[in-house]
Structures are given as structure tokens and as C-alpha cells.
Amino acid sequence: MKFDQINWGIIGCGNVTEVKSGPAFQKAEHSSLVAVMRRDKEKAADYAKRHGVPKWYHQADGLINDPEVNAIYIATPPDTHAQYAIQAMRAGKPVYVEKPMALNHAECQQMIEVSKETGMPLFVAYYRRTLPAFLKMKELVESGVIGKPISVSITLVKGASEQDKNTSNDNWRVDPKAAGAGYFFDLASHQLDYLDFLFGPITRVAGTAVNRSGLYRAEDTVVASFAMESGVVGNGLWSFVADESATKDDLEIIGTKGKINLPSFQHTDLKLTTAKGTLSFSFQNPENISYNLVDQVVQSLRGEAECVSTGVSAARTNWVMEQIVQDYYH
């Protein structure tokens, strides 16, 4: 199925759509944002007015069945991703869904089945697959400059936010019923998906999740070890309640002739270290961080390019994360 002009509707126009993603649908060529939906009528109307969107809805059905909308971006919490994606695809509309793809791997599989059944494309917002620094890391690995890749190590350690410390605050990201797990699902999903892009699917994984702070029900600290299809092995440490002095954000790839370091979330330089010394590479991200991927999705729907982040690839990341935290939740 090919489209000429992609007319997007957004279900769930919250914070993530303000700068990170929403404007990208208006900036990409052959793409426009024609409708938005939020359950709060006033907030839906306000978003539409501020972003110059012609129509707004407070119920998803209205947007999904709008004949002018021919593709749908779902930016709600993960507990409704599958429901809305399936409804949209059955209405004959391709879907671009926020990450993580769904609440659990079983829901991801349902979404993939409906995509096959309806012929509707299904994409997931793992935009690091299209960002310059992460593409440079992939290029360096594939060039052989660090020799044969041996291992990868992920470290993401940060302190609890003021919102986390105020237990009366309603934060869906640490509510497993809404998010699938805690910040691990929200943030580590980007990193694990990128490793899938870099080295192929993770085929073996084990992990332990614990809650050391008691601030919320979800896990707050996670460790994992894994092996990828390519033979590269890895480990990860994620903690969201550490002392500020321990703050660290690093993705390190070690090879037989060097290493590469890149933070996953801080916008600082990529560092390549070999026998010749250390080189730094700086990058400029698009103003709207999702732009490169949104543009690729639009090109894919027009039959002009293949998209690097699909429901099939994203479901693998849900499976990996589920394996890591399963003991905590069972």
C-alpha cells in the first residue's frame, strides 16, 4: 500500500508530542498533522490551537474514523498502545506508536498479527536508530576501527526526581499497570532496541530487578546480562534512585583494537579510543528529536524507503525487557 500525502492524527497529545515528536509530522515533506485527540477537551483544544492543527477530538473513535486522517500516531501510555493500534489498523490506517511498543510482549504479538492481517504498516518510535551520533557509532563498529566487537556495557544511573519523592504524585511511568514496569521500560527500551539495531537480536538474557527506595511499586534498580545473535555479549546496570554523585550515562562498546563510548540520553560527544589515542565526534540533533524517523516513516508509506524501526523489531525489545524483570513481577 502506497500513500501520496500522509495526513496524521495523534492519539494522546501530552508532553512527548510538544517538541520531541508532534511538530515533526508537520515538518516532514508530504506529511501534515490534521487532527489530535486527548481525553481532556480543554487540553485537546489548546494543543490544536497552539500547534495550528485544524481538528481536535476528546475520544479516540472520532479521530480514528475521521476520513481525512489516513495515518495515526499513538502517544498514550503503553497500556492503551495495543488497543488503539489494533483499532486504527482495522480501520485501514497505518500506525506509528510510541515506545515501548506495548505493555508486554503478548500485546506486541497481537499488534503484529493485526498488521499482517490488515496489511497496515506498523512502526515504533525508536528514533535513536536514525540519530547522527548513533549512526556514527554503527558506522565505526562496522568499519573495523575497534577490531572485532567483543562486548557492550550499558550504565544508566541517576537520582530520584522530586516527583518520585512526592508519593502523592501520579506518575504513570512508575505505575506497572500503565507502563508495563518502571523507568526501566521507559528508558532502557531505547538502549536495548539500539543494540538490536547494532548487533542483531538479543537471543539470551537474564536479569534481576529490585526496589531499593520504596518510593513506588515498580522496580527502581536493574542488572542484566545478555548475548546477541552476532556473538557480542553485554551487561547493563540501571538505577533511578542513586545518589547524585553516582550519576552516569554511558554506552560502551569494546573491541579487539579499541572502544567507543556514547551517552544514551545526554547530548555530548561520542569518543573513539584506539592505540592512536582518543577522538571526539560532535553531533547536531534535529530540533524535534523524532524528525529523522518520522521522515523515514513517511517515505516508507510513500514507497520510497524502508523504515528501520518496525513492530517486528520493537517487539523483540519488549521480550528482552520482560525476561529481565519477570521475577520481580511474578
Question: In this predicted model, what pLDDT tens digit does every residue of 230-260 receive, in sequence order?
Answer: 999 999 999 999 999 999 999 999 999 999 9
Q: How confident is the model at residue 85 (pLDDT cuts 50, 70, 90)?
A: very high
Over residues 264-288, the mean pLDDT reads 97
Is it the case that residue 1 has pLDDT exceeding 90? no
Contacts of 270 (CB under 8 A, 6+ apart): 133, 136, 137, 260, 261, 262, 280, 281, 283
Give the pLDDT score at 268: 94
Give the pLDDT score at 167: 75
Give the pLDDT score at 2: 81
Q: Phi/psi of residue 173, each to 5°?
A: -65, -20
Can you read off the three cell numbers belonging to residue 96? Answer: 506509528
pLDDT digits (tens, 9 = 90+) for 131-140: 999 999 999 9
Is it the case that residue 79 has pLDDT exceeding 90? yes
Q: How confident is the model at residue 296 (pLDDT cuts 50, 70, 90)?
A: very high
Can you read off the three cell numbers belonging to residue 26? Answer: 508537520
Contacts of 328 (CB under 8 A, 6+ apart): 181, 208, 209, 210, 211, 219
Over residues 147-174, the mean pLDDT reads 92
Which residue, chain included where needed, has cell 482495522? 90
Can you read off the three cell numbers belonging to residue 186? Answer: 521507559
Over residues 139-145, the mean pLDDT reads 98
pLDDT averaged over the chain? Answer: 97
Q: Which amino acid is at 64?
A: I
Helix or strand or coil: residue 17?
A: helix
Over residues 127-134, the mean pLDDT reads 98
Q: Is 200 left (phi over 0), alpha (psi -120 to 50) or beta?
A: left
Which residue, chain included where needed, has cell 517538541? 19
